[in-house]
Amino acid sequence: MKTPKYLVPDLYTADPAVHFFNGKLFIYPSHDVESGIPENDNGDHFDMRDYHAFSTDDIENGTLTDHGVVLDVKSIPWSGRQLWDSDAAQKDGKFYIYFSLKDRNDVFHIGVAVSDKPEGPFVAEDAPIKGSYSIDPCVYEEDGSHYMYFGGLWGGQLQRYRDNKAIECGHEPADNEPALCSKVVKISSNMLEFAEEPRDLLILDENGEPLKAGDHDRRFFEASWMHKYNGKYYFSYSTGNTHFLCYAIGDNPYGPFTYQGVILTPVVGWTTHHCIAEFKGKWYLFHHDSRPSGGRTWLRSLKVVELEYNSDGTIKTIDGLME
């Protein structure tokens, strides 16, 4: 698959999370709707309200099975609005969706919902995960342990926190100061809580210095994703307002990570959000753009393209405008 393929032509879907469950590839995207809210930097026009789950056993030539709505904002006891990005995990025969949602005070937290089947339906816990904040949970599993990566600037509210505590006036650091980091935290054995305090996931430049807040082409903005290739950990993310998908490589799940380059150049539409998964011996980049909706950034469409590595383990850059 050398050119991208759109996956869900009849729904606007974005922010994919992809996992191999029960012999099939399961895709958990967010679900875009026409909200009627004017576009702004806080992302109020991204007023998503439910999740569908999709599955396939042939990502290149097969079709997706739509399992319907697996979690709805109305069924979440603590819900306010804006059911943003999610991820999924499994343990001991149970399946979990971790989701971004604003509470009734318009503050983002991360919740968890549970099911006996990867296709749901999922039942949400009564409250968000204690100590959680911001958006875009990604869950990485290794040797029975699960780690969550999360955070997003601007509408994702990450700038409102320092050292896991809310600050009075949320702001980004000055351009010459270290950039705000994605957060990483180990999940407890029951999969419903944090097992520790979230830590900064540090991204270093070629000189071993933390990326600066003013380095908008490389610094973290949102859309954390973790995968492992040839014994190395690959942390990938979006730069947000400059619209790149970038990656950094480290030696353990906590980092630090050293910046390597661009995975995907800007697509049609403001946001870039993705995941990376291996399936049947090939690696794939799942992402989205707004081309089918005529460039309306809040109505995005899920797509996939093969991802390739160079001999030194770096990733070949993909043209975001390629059709």
Q: Catalytic residue positions?
A: 15, 222
* Token duo for residue 316: 């070949």
Report the alpha-carbon distance of residue 84 to residue 63 in Å, rounded: 25
Q: Give, rounded to a whole angstrom, the gap between the first and last alpha carbons of the chain.
A: 12
DSSP 270: S
Please report the sign of the dihedral spanned by the C-alpha atoms of residue 45, residue 51, residue 52, residue 58.
positive
Q: Mind giving me the DSSP string for 34-73?
A: ---PPP-TT-TT----EEEEEEES-TTTS--EEEEEEEEG
Report the alpha-carbon distance of residue 49 to residue 40 in Å, rounded: 19
Residues 6+ apart with CB under 8 A from 244: 217, 218, 238, 262, 264, 265, 266, 272
Beta bridge partners of 305: 285
**Looking up tokens 């973290």, which residue turns up?**
220
Report the alpha-carbon distance of residue 182 to residue 58 in Å, rounded: 33
